[in-house]
């Protein structure tokens, strides 16, 4: 079941109260582990400013480079460039949109080296 909001302001307020991460704030090479209702994804930042990531898991049996559109509840509203708990991830490959099931958790890969995170602003 999808949530409904009366206004874009109420959508924005809901997205601001969620745990998550902005891909644009992460340096190249940072790896996230995202667990959704149905899958587990490994998301590697290729170019945060362009929201390009390599994704492996779920609908992507092989590592696939694509654009992270952002967090969505399944409608047309998207919090651009974000992965948020309680929302779905939306990716694009050319004109095609792919949406995950609901995100349950997002975390830095525990195997990521600590020095990789020191570059995050």
What does the pLDDT read at residue 110? 78
Between CA 99 and CA 83 the distance in angstroms is 12
Residues 6+ apart with CB under 8 A from 64: 54, 55, 56, 93
Q: At residue 67, does pLDDT exceed 70?
A: yes
More confident of the two residues 94 and 110? 94
**Cβ–Cβ < 8 Å for 84, 103:** yes
Between CA 114 and CA 118 the distance in angstroms is 7
Its pTM stands at 0.79
Instruction: For residue 26, report the phi and psi dihedrals to the nearest 5 degrees.
Output: -100, 140
Between CA 42 and CA 54 the distance in angstroms is 8
Give 9's strand partners. none
> 3-class DSSP state for residue 47?
strand
């Amino acid at each position: 079941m999808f949530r409904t909001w009366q206004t874009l302001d109420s959508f924005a307020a809901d997205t601001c109260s969620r745990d998550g991460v902005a891909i644009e704030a992460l340096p190249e090479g940072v790896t996230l582990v995202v667990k959704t209702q149905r899958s587990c994804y490994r998301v590697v930042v290729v170019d945060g400013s362009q929201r390009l990531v390599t994704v492996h898991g779920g609908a992507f049996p092989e590592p696939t480079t694509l654009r992270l559109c952002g967090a969505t509840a399944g409608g047309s509203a998207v919090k651009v460039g974000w992965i948020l708990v309680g929302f779905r991830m939306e990716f694009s490959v050319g004109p095609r949109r792919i949406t995950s099931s609901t995100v349950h958790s997002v975390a830095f890969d525990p195997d990521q080296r600590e020095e990789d995170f020191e570059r995050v602003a």
